[in-house]
Structure 1
Amino acid sequence: MVQRSLTAIIALIFFVPIIWIGSWVLEAFIVLLAIAALIEIHQMKGIRPLSLPTLFASIALIFVILYDRMMELLPFIPNNGSILALFVLLLPCLTLFDKHYSIEDAAISFFGITYIGTGFHAFMLTRETDVHLLILSLLIIYSTDTGAYLVGRQFGKHKLAPSISPNKTIEGSVGGVIISLLVSAVYLVVFPVEWSRTFTLMMVIVLSIAGQVGDLIESSFKRHYNFKDSGNILPGHGGIFDRFDSLLFVLSVIFVLGLV
């Protein structure tokens, strides 16, 4: 837990200033994170990092995350998603020429492009629309994760999802939501919002639960492919997909709810 907490603190110290700077610095950083997460998903399925499928999937992923920016940089490209569709169509075609790339592999690539791409696209959109909502989302995720661990370790008795993540408990889940409410309340005192108290309360609870759902989705993915972690780039956390699993789902929920 000490190593995990230290890594999280260092990551926040490094990550928050980049969020605050925004612009191309944040865009480049997010693209690197997204491609790293996609490669981790590919590796769990057995798809080679240095391959045409990974290359095409990565380019499609960039278009999903930075679609508006791509249209600005490449004004001669039709603004109808046709280029993205081209790369998506190329993936199943590769199954005809690459014996190491199956139709199931192509499905995993689609999953990575849409799931990671939507989450990080929502990240960029939230940063452009309301940076305080983005920072609040990060606080909700990390406080939920920490609270669920501490409360679950002390009081956890009833398993939350034993077939997916045996160590998670209902008590820990509820504790994580409560801790996130307390942390969010402190942040909102310093940076108040225009929403009503009832709406803000419900939003924090929904995002806290969404973060836990995102974590369980990633755990289910790893369990299916018999992996403990998606990678080892972050000590105590595993890989990029491990660390950003909750964030991808939370920001997608923010996007779906029309908060940005």
Structure 2
Amino acid sequence: MKQRIVTGVLAGLAFAMLVVLGGWYYKGLLLILALIGFYEYIRLNGYPLRDPLALLGLIGMLAIAAPLQDMGLPRVPPETIVWSLMFALLAVTVLTKNRATLDGSALMLMGAVYVGFGFSAMMAVRGIEPGGLFLSALTFGAIWASDAGAYFVGKTVGRHKLWPAISPNKTIEGALGGVLLSLIVCLISALVAPEWISVGRALTIGIIASVAGQLGDLIQSAYKRLRGVKDSGKLLPGHGGVLDRCDSWLIVFPLLTLTGVLG
């Protein structure tokens, strides 16, 4: 537990500093996390990085996640990237006479979209002008408040299991506690900084961050259980890998941008 706390505090402070700095400090960090996260994903599925499907998935993920225009490259519509990746993956199954399987192609396409759009959305929120830093901090704060509320309420008064087949320690009471604390954090933020966000918009962020964030956590738990592993990686001692730590982020940020709540 001590190692977990120390690692969490140090990593959290470093991450917060880069969020505040923004620009390529933050984008560079997110791209590194995306690369590590996708590597964890292909390992979870039993693929080496040298596999042609894994390499194509990695390239597609980077094309989705990387801020191409900031790199002096023309903007490519996301649907063009996704379709081109799908075509390339399917072509490999033909060229290898099905040694590269259709199932593997589908897994790599899903992984590229899951990881790529997740980190791309985080960059997009930070790049909102004005207020990108505030909105990023609010969203991360809502997610972390939901995690804390779910943990402490679940430990204190949790009695009814939420989904024991996937995550045996989570409770319905804990899930509701997470939603409540997320909403409280967002409400306070709106009252303290009304020039940045309205109460209604803040509460919308709070409910999406908590409900979708908890679902993102369950998605990763279900996937790890399916693959028979405890953690997706070993990047952070006591915390697991990138996918373990960012599972909620990868769902919440795209939902907030795709729905127009942030953007």
How would you bin the TM-score normalised by the shorter chain?
Answer: 0.7 to 0.9
- For the structure 1 residues 119 and 93, does the alpha-carbon distance in structure 2 shift closer, same or farther, using more than 3 Å as the test? same
Distance 1:78 1:206 in 2: 28
Equivalent residue runs for 1:1-260 within 5 Å: 1-66=1-66, 68-69=68-69, 73-75=72-74, 85-95=83-93, 96-97=95-96, 101-129=100-128, 130-258=132-260, 259-260=262-263
- For the structure 1 residues 200 and 74, does the alpha-carbon distance in structure 2 shift closer, same or farther, using more than 3 Å as the test? closer
SS at match of 2:218: helix
Farther off after superposition, 85-94 or 57-66: 85-94
Deviations 1:148-202 (A, max 9, x none): 1111112111011112111100011111122223333444455445543244224
SS at match of 1:207: helix
Q: Which runs of 5+ in 1 are unaligned?
A: none
Q: Could you tell me which amino acid in structure 2 is paired with residue 7 of structure 1?
A: T
Distance 2:152 2:119 in 1: 29
RMSD over equivalenced CA pairs, Å:
2.5
SS at match of 1:180: helix
Q: Could you tell me which amino acid in structure 1 is paired with residue 7 of structure 2?
A: T
8 A Cα contact 1:132 1:191, kept in partner: no
8 A Cα contact 2:187 2:199, kept in partner: no
Distance 1:80 1:125 in 2: 13
The alignment's TM-score, normalised by the length of structure 2, stands at: 0.87
The alignment's TM-score, normalised by the length of structure 1, stands at: 0.88
8 A Cα contact 2:155 2:174, kept in partner: yes
SS at match of 1:168: strand
8 A Cα contact 1:140 1:184, kept in partner: yes
- For the structure 1 residues 193 and 47, does the alpha-carbon distance in structure 2 shift closer, same or farther, using more than 3 Å as the test? farther
Deviation at 1:116, TM superposition (A): 1.3
8 A Cα contact 2:163 2:170, kept in partner: yes
Deviation at 1:226, TM superposition (A): 1.6
Distance 2:86 2:72 in 1: 21
Distance 2:155 2:78 in 1: 50
Q: Could you tell me which amino acid in structure 2 is paired with residue 238 of structure 1?
A: G
- For the structure 1 residues 7 and 183, does the alpha-carbon distance in structure 2 shift closer, same or farther, using more than 3 Å as the test? farther
- For the structure 1 residues 31 and 159, does the alpha-carbon distance in structure 2 shift closer, same or farther, using more than 3 Å as the test? same
Q: Could you tell me which amino acid in structure 2 is paired with residue 139 of structure 1?
A: G
SS at match of 1:55: helix
Distance 1:59 1:212 in 2: 29
Q: Could you tell me which amino acid in structure 1 is paired with residue 127 of structure 2?
A: E
Q: Which runs of 5+ in 2 are unaligned?
A: none
Deviations 1:86-129 (A, max 9, x none): 44422233334297642212111111111111111111110001
SS at match of 1:237: coil
Deviation at 1:16, TM superposition (A): 1.4
Distance 2:228 2:147 in 1: 23
- For the structure 1 residues 99 and 32, does the alpha-carbon distance in structure 2 shift closer, same or farther, using more than 3 Å as the test? farther
